[in-house]
Every structure is written in structure tokens, then in C-alpha cells.
Amino acid sequence: MLSRRDILRAAGIGTIATSLPGWALAKPDSDARFVLIILRGAADGLAIAAPYGDANYRKIRGELSMPAPGEDDGLLRLDNTFGLHPSLPGVYAQYEKNQAIVVHALASPYRSRSHFDGQDVLENGAAGTASLRDGWLNRALAPLGGSLGNEVAIAMAQNTPLVLRGNNSVTSWAPSQLPDADASTLRRLQDMYADDEFFATRLVQALKSQEIADSESSMGEMKLRNRNSQQQRLMMEAAARFLTAEDGPRIAVLESGGWDTHANQGTTSGALANKLAGLDEGLTALRDQLGEMWSKTVVAVVTEFGRTVAVNGTRGTDHGTASAAILLGGAVKGGRVIADWPGLGKTDLFENRDLMPTSDMRSMFKGIMSDHLSVPDSLLDNTVFPDSVTARPMRDLIRS
């Protein structure tokens, strides 16, 4: 009986490794791994890394202020100004090992407060509009040498999020409880799809990730029907398996929803604390499962924008502007908070309500793409992030 690999080979695409001629000068570290985690719904950067040392913090955050480091359930001290949310002990352990960075007062170029446009700009890499139809991470794949059936990037979901959509072939994977289709049916489907590029391409991509999943014995049995707190951990573990598989992808994208805390956000416990604890558990599982590959990995945890500095009328926060991002991994030059801190005084805020953005999220991504994945700066300035010459890459994020 034919295996999936045989089907791919028969199609003549599984084994062709291509390299694009224009990027001969780049010397990518082929072991470098990158994981992007998108928190959808605008995660509250002022709760993820609270500026307890800012003189205005308690006054303006009121009942959503976090207890200072050293108090009961207090913040985990990052430096004299910032403390990490106590539900992120795994991230903090990495921070103490100099393998995590918090980047604060960070925002994409988007300055309105729609989740959906905000997520589009975060993902399409445009200089502020939601209309670009492919994703910056897809455009960054060109020099990394992937091709149809030999994808460099995987979306850990049935569908591909905007950040990975585009001309470069990517794949996606999510666990299934359905029985496999047999090889003969799959081959006939390939024949039937031959003249329809939309279907033909996707089938090849899917077969590739199935092939890797098949080689990882326990993955096929993953049961994720319950959307409980375990899901994030299981998806992170699955991502790590793809990233460590021979001939597998080097880049993975994961998504997490439910960060839109308009009401009863909570502080050391409550809705947001639970979300953060689930994230932390997932990140720890990712590190454990990556094993030695962790030393070559950068994980970026980002969100589309932040939340209002002041508490709203329902013990939550409304849509804001700047937020915080977390970078972690063995390849990260960590143990630092990177922030040009704008302050929380009334006149310091963006439109009198939000944390003022002082760092451009594109700069952070450009630093990672350039120094970790060796994507050429010219490509980053003009194509990956169009019209972004002024958003200089953040250097010094990656251990040399």
C-alpha cells in the first residue's frame, strides 16, 4: 500500500528542494526556529508586565493594580519599574536564566481600536492599513528555501492565519478524530484536483504535514475536542514536534483567543490570570518538548493592541493602544525589559486614555527576522514590512 510519502513523491514535488536565486548571499542558520504566538482580543500589557515602579500606576489603575513584588501574590520582579504577572512563573524562570525579554509600550503602526483591523495590521505588516492581503511572515519566507511539499512554516490550526498567507507555500495542521482516507482515494483526489490549483496545492501541503504527524506516533491520537486549559499545552507540544521533526518546518504560528477583558478582568486571580496561566503552561510545554532545539529558538508572544490604562465601569478595560510583547527562547539575549517608558501621567497618555506607543512592533520583528533567521534587511524594509525604513530593526535581541 502506498504511504503518504509515496504519494508526494509520485506527484514529483515532495523531494524537490529549491533555493531562490536572488538570496545566494544570505547564510541562514538552518537550525534557527521561530514560533509566533498571537493573542487575539488585545491582551493587557499593563497586567502582563505591570509598571509597579511608576508613580502614577496605582492611582490610575485603581482596583486593577497588581500587588508589588514581595507582597502576597505579588508581581515577579523584572526590574525597578516592571513586574511580571504572577501567573507567568514559567516565563519568569526563563527571564532569570536570561532567556526572556519583555518589550513594553510596543504597538503596530495601527492607531484605531478595532480588533479586526488591528489584527490585520499586526499580521499583514502594512504601514497602518488593513487592506494588504498577505502576511509579513509569509513574505519573509522567500529566502528560507521552502517550496510546495517542503514547507518552512506551519500554522497550528485548520486554517492559515493572515500572517502566514501569501505566495510562499505554507502548511497547516490540527488534530483530528476522523479516520484517515486511504491512499488510493488520496491519489485519485490528486488526479481529480490536477487542473484546479486551489485544491491541488492544498492537498500537497496537507499531505506533507500528515506525513510528519504520522511519523510522530502519539500525535495522531491527540484529542482536543474539549476546549479546556489543556488545549494550549497540547498545541504547543504538537508545534514543538513539527519543529523538531526531520525535514519539518522551522517556523510555527499559534493563535489564542479570549483576551478581550472588558468586564471583571481580575488581578492576581480571575479571567485574565487564568488565561495567562494557560499561556505559561503552554510555553513551558513548548520549551520542554523542543529539548535541545530550545537553544536555537525564539518565541514571540504578541497582541494586536493594548487596553485602556484606567479601569472602565465594569472592572475591566476597553480597547487601547500600546501593549507589551514577550520574547523567549535559548536564542534570546534575555533578562531585560526593553522599554522607552512613556509614563502614565495624564499628559503622557495616547489620546488621554491609552499607553503611548514608543516602540514599533515591526522593529522588533525585523530584529528577529534579520538576526535570527538571516532575512536580508533590504527585503525587510521594503517587502516584508512595506515602507518601513524608518522602523529600524531592534538589534541585540538575539544571542550571537
Partner 1 sequence: MTMKSAIAANRFGLGARPGDLETIEKGPVVWLLDQLQGPSRQAGELRKLPGSAVVLQEIDEIRKADREMRELATAEAAPDIVKQYGRTVRGHFSAQSEARYRVAADSDHPFHERLVHFWSNHFAVSVDKNPLAAIAGLYENEAIRSNISGKFADLLIACEQHPAMIMYLDNQRSIGPNSTLGRRANRGQRKRAVGLNENLAREILELHTLGVDGGYTQADVTTFAKVITGWSIGGAGNAGRFLEGDPGTFEFRESIHEPGTQQIMGNRYSQKGLQQGKAVLRDLAIHPSTARFIATKLARHFVADEPPAALVDELVATYLESGGELSEVYETLVGADAVWLEPHSKYKSPHDFVISTFRAFDHVPDRARLVVGALDTMGQAPFRPGSPAGWPDTAEHWGGADALYKRIEWSNTVSRVVGSRVNPVDLGDAILGATFSPESRKAISRAESNVQGLTLLLASPDFQRR
- Break the chain down into helix, strand, coil percent, rounded to 5: 35, 15, 50
Closest CA to 149 of 202, 214, 215: 202
Picking from 398, 383, 372, the residue whose alpha carbon sits closest to that of residue 140 is 383
158 binds partner 1 (CB under 8 A): yes
CA terminus-to-terminus distance, the chain:
48
Burial 97-116 (b: 16+ CB within 10 A, else e): eebbbbbbbbbbbbeebebe
Q: Which position has the grid cell 495624564?
A: 346
For position 112 contacting partner 1 by CB under 8 A, the verdict is yes
Residue 1 in contact with partner 1, rule: CB under 8 A: no
Closest CA to 213 of 170, 154, 281: 154
Closest approach of partner 1 to the CB of residue 333, in Å = 34
**Which lies closer to partner 1 via its Cβ, residue 227 or residue 395?**
227
The smaller minimum CB distance to partner 1, of residues 68 and 206, is found at: 206
- Nearest approach, Cβ of residue 87 and partner 1 (Å): 20
Cell numbers at residue 54, please? 511608576
* Among residues 312, 358, 374, 383, the one that binds partner 1 under rule CB under 8 A: 312
Residue 227 found at the interface with partner 1 (CB under 8 A): yes
Residue 314 binding partner 1, by CB under 8 A:
yes
173 near partner 1, rule: CB under 8 A: yes
From the CB of 209, what's the least distance to partner 1, in Å? Answer: 7
Out of 160, 289, 370, 388, name the contact with partner 1 by CB under 8 A: 160
Give the nearest distance from C-beta 319 to partner 1 in angstroms: 7
Q: How far is the CB of 39 from partner 1 (least distance, A)?
A: 13
Size of the site for partner 1 (CB under 8 A): 66
**Which CB sits closer to partner 1, 93 or 245?**
245
DSSP letter at 289?
H
344 to 383: interface string for partner 1, x by CB under 8 A: -------x--------------------------------
Residue of 261, 258, 356, 257 lying closest to 317 (CA atoms): 261
Q: Which helix (H) or strand (E) covers residue 9, if one does? A: helix 4-10
Q: Counting contacts by CB under 8 A, is residue 133 touching partner 1?
A: yes
Q: Which of 393, 390, 391, 372 is nearest to 26 (CA)?
A: 372
Q: Which phi and psi angles does 375 have, rounded to 5°?
A: -75, 130
Residues forming contacts to partner 1 in the complex (CB under 8 A) are 40-41, 62-63, 112-117, 130, 133, 155, 157-160, 165, 170-174, 176-182, 184-186, 188-189, 191-193, 195-196, 198-199, 201-203, 205-207, 209-210, 225, 227, 257-258, 260, 262-263, 311-316, 318-319, 351
